[in-house]
């Protein structure tokens, strides 16, 4: 998921022009997040197929041609890939994934402002900051089961006087068998 958080950084660069700094949302403690992650089911090791579908990509005032070009530049596209989840990775559950989301990477710093895990359901929100006061809000919601993850990531990126860029991505990862 982290790659899709960094992909719209090009838009955050635009946002620095004329954007007002918003009051930061209070962050959730790492201890609370760790406890909530512990409530999620542990994934089963094996071969997974991940599909990513762009449900929405909108920039105020941009033509369809401009939107397509922006998506290409940001490397945001529908894709399907397969990946082997090892026993060692599976034993960690979703701890590393969640930790990566709140690490500073590529100039983007994110903090969880909401993180609720209830059985296999996850509902989380991140507030992200980039260079020159640019910011984004990201909501992640869906199901995380031992052999299936089905999530929606909804992003809103402030573009200053232009408005907000909106991007919504559906990600599904399903175990399709043992690793080769």
Would you list the domain boundaries of the chain? 2-15+26-177
pLDDT over 90, % of the chain: 41
Q: What is the pLDDT of residue 176?
A: 98
**pLDDT, tens digit (0-9, with 9 covering 90-100), for 37-75:** 888 999 999 999 999 998 998 888 888 888 778 777 766
What six digits make up the tokens of 26? 């209070």
pTM for this prediction: 0.78
pLDDT confidence tier of residue 162, bands split at 50, 70 and 90:
low
Task: Report how far residue 165's alpha carbon sits from residue 11's, in angstroms, rounded to the nearest whole number.
Answer: 8
Average pLDDT over residues 72-97: 85
Closest residue by Cα to residue 173 from 64, 76, 84, 56: 84
Name the β-bridge partners of 124: 115, 140
Parallel/antiparallel/unpaired status of strands 121-129 and 164-177: unpaired
């Amino acid at each position: 998921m982290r790659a899709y958080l960094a992909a719209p950084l090009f838009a955050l660069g635009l946002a620095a022009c004329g954007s007002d700094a918003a009051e930061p949302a209070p962050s959730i403690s790492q201890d609370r997040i760790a406890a909530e992650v512990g409530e999620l089911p542990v994934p089963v090791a094996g071969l997974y197929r991940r599909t990513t579908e762009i449900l929405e990509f909108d920039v105020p005032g941009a033509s369809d041609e401009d939107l397509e070009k922006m998506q290409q530049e940001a490397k945001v596209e529908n894709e399907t890939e397969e990946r082997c989840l090892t026993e060692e990775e599976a034993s960690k559950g979703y701890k590393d994934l969640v930790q990566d989301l709140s690490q500073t990477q590529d100039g983007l710093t994110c903090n969880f402002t909401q993180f609720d895990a209830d059985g296999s359901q996850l509902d989380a929100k991140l507030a992200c900051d980039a260079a020159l006061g640019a910011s984004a809000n990201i909501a992640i919601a869906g199901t995380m089961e031992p052999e299936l993850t089905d999530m929606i990531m909804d992003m809103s990126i402030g573009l200053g006087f232009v408005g907000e860029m909106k991007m919504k991505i559906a990600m599904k990862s399903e175990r399709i068998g043992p690793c080769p």
